[in-house]
Structure 1
């Protein structure tokens, strides 16, 4: 269980380290002029009809406004206006030049339908156009290239189940009045215990059951009720089974010689019956659990090192590939945005109407 938890924790950190790369920031071009909403807009660039253009445009007289560029996404493009069309009338008003046309468009509220009298290759025509809102048209242009529409999703690994945690509640552990610790290989050789198994008595409380049984600091408990004791967990498990007062036989090693001692186990302290039952572990159980978990975690970490290095080696190329693809997409979006802004800047400089 601890192994599953550590792998999940470390993998989550690895994924977040790659996924936490900052998103490229795109800043607006300060040279682009953005108009506020409410400005009437057709989406055309125009110029006055000059005397040298009358013949080329097949006009009968020198008047009107020639269209030199049409925004196909704007009202004019959608209505069918084309380059080199000549606007001669605006809602029945005779058009003499560019400034007059600009004024008439400004005075027309957005959303209103107008009729343009035009000449196309010398043929008179009428075009119906709905006046647009300059701010909305330009906002739609930016919406088409929103880089946030492309999102990199990285799913973190599932968290492990926690139902395997040791059950330390709803148990009673009688106290023998002694402080204990695992022996280990090094101390086992010193005290004469094989394979470092057993529980070392570090201190004995005066007046306790352990002292009354003759247990001393430096003794190593290797058996309890004829069961082998490898560490504190084994001893605590056996003691928890003695909830009622009684006797227990402990096999101890003293001066490298094994002997038996009989201990009168006191009855475990129980909470008063007041309608609610809360059973908590004693301090010794908590200390045992903490020490055991610390030792197990250290052991698991050492055992996990090869596996973690292998997982990191397997995941790193995939994560790097995903990151490179995302960066490539963002670069393409940035180029597209720059192109759109150049077009918009050009349009503003051309004084489109």
Structure 2
């Protein structure tokens, strides 16, 4: 296309797409150029597909086959609303499930490449996890919506804004947060260095807070755990044995020397603890929002737990921190 020439297709607003809307997929499947197929929008905001780091796909049943990738997905007004990207198929051919990158997401990437020559992603500096029905109950939420903060990186935009572990992000820049993938995409697409309003829940109350995102760091380090001693320890919750987290064990697990808590040394197969996903080597740092500094803290707190109680634990696994709920046997 010559410099200064007009685009051959007008852009639509992919944020306004509705499920059931008719769309057309244009491409070159199997070398058959100028092929047009028709379908509907099957879903929007589709994530966890395993195709890309940041996923917010439009799902369509318009026939997409090898050769369609990179072609336009347009609405009935001829406006570009997506870029055909991939299909879900066991045979390699069309099975009624295709994915397209929303035009608004593609436009952000295009603009950054034209202006800066690279793509920059916004960064908050938090680890987040999904809100399960059990977690929503423990944190006083009416619905399982939002993203739960598991940890806040030191010196990060989130820490500077006053965000804390256990906070739940409900809104980002005026838009409701449905889940972790939704928040991750919004943060990544945010303009670096711009102040953004958030709505968070802390201790059952909603607060407004402003955060200025920075650029996503290039290097992300991963911690490899060592071996956990085979020593047994007093049993608190049924199906779980722990021991105090010493400096030597912290070193073996690749954790900071001053990390506090108790380390899981045994999980009974078939127990509710195993069902909840706890593993040998996990470090328990909180139970029901109470800090676990020593083995004595653990023993004292679990003594108050009764059969049938739902227990909220804060876990450090290989340096990754998150909450988990366990139904006490």
Higher RCO, Cα 8 Å, sep 6+: 1
Q: So what's the TM-score if we normalise by structure 2?
A: 0.31
**Which structure has greater helix proportion?**
1
Structure with greater Cα Rg: 1
**Which structure has greater strand proportion?**
2
Q: So what's the TM-score if we normalise by structure 1?
A: 0.29
